[in-house]
Amino acid sequence: MNSETTDRTETPMKESLPDPLDEHADPVLRLLAVMARLRDPEHGCPWDLAQDFRSIVPHTLEEAHEVADTIEREAWDRLPSELGDLLFQVVFYARLAEERGWFDFHDVAAGIVDKLIRRHPHVFGGERETDAGRQRESWERLKAEERAGRGEAGLFDDLPLALPALVRALKLQRRAARVGLDWNSHFPVLEKLEEETEELRGAIEAGDRECMEAELGDILFTLVNLARHLEIDPEQALREASRRFEARVRHMEARLRESGKSLADVDPETLDRLWDEAKRALSKPCD
């Protein structure tokens, strides 16, 4: 157990919490009470007591991905449970902070309420705006003012390094486009993609591993840019490509099981034939 988990101070909630076992209590307050009990130094859970801010980050990311997966699968009956798991992560962070006297769950909730009201003057203020484009401009202007207030003057200062690479590339490009660092259409991006592909080919022919990685990175970055210009979500496009690949392989496995075989049992020619069959059976015309 590191110093973060042992240096705990008890700070009172802004309102008293109910008994965690009281089924008639407000569910949010009950959740906070459950969290407080789990972190109780004398009667809590050893695993929860051993956690700190960094140790639960992987769990937070996992829960967020499970929410996304549930939505992707349209498993709506499972969504409340998955959202609850994600909410628990927020409550956990807030409890850790409360123990240190920094802030608590109420401060987190109040902060996001204030931010949403501040960023929607066309809804909560005197401004009325129905044009989505101008609403977006207003939103970005308010965000820029907030960044400036935090001393984040650079265009990319508040973009987390820990974002998934595909997501961060898209955000970088969107920010750059707002100040004019952008192509005027998708056709120049296609030409850039061809240029980067040729450069990768040259790096491969030269056997230069460092250049291969750099050129491949440029291709991926350009593909994200192309997706942005085509108004296609690159994450969704890649997810769909992966889904198609998975469906085709499952089709091949099913065909082979009919004769008691697996993918590892057949030669490359048979794999090619089964792949073509799966594509014909499952693909749309553009696939």
Give tens-digit pLDDT for 214-239: 999 999 999 999 999 999 999 889 98
Do 251 and 268 have their domain in common? yes
Q: Specify if 255 maps to a domain.
A: yes
According to DSSP, residue 13 is labeled -
Do 11 and 105 have their domain in common? yes
Number of independent structural domains in the chain: 4
Do 113 and 18 have their domain in common? yes
Query: Half-sphere exposure (CA, 13 Å, Cβ side) for 255?
Result: 17
Q: What is the mean pLDDT of residues 16-30?
A: 92
Specify the pLDDT at position 92. Answer: 98
Specify the pLDDT at position 9. Answer: 41
CATH code, 194: 1.10.287.1080
Q: What is the mean pLDDT of residues 20-48?
A: 95
Ranked by mean pLDDT, the top range of 13-17, 121-125, 238-242, 249-253 is: 249-253
Q: Specify if 287 maps to a domain.
A: no
Band the pLDDT of 40: cuts 50, 70, 90: very high
Do 175 and 265 have their domain in common? no
Do 226 and 267 have their domain in common? no
Structural domain range at position 249: 235-282
Do 36 and 26 have their domain in common? yes
CA distance 4 to 134: 45
Do 255 and 200 have their domain in common? no
CA angle, residues 215, 220, 221, in degrees to nearest 5: 95
Query: Angle between the 105-119 and 132-149 helix axes, to the nearest 10 degrees?
Result: 130
Q: Specify if 159 maps to a domain.
A: no
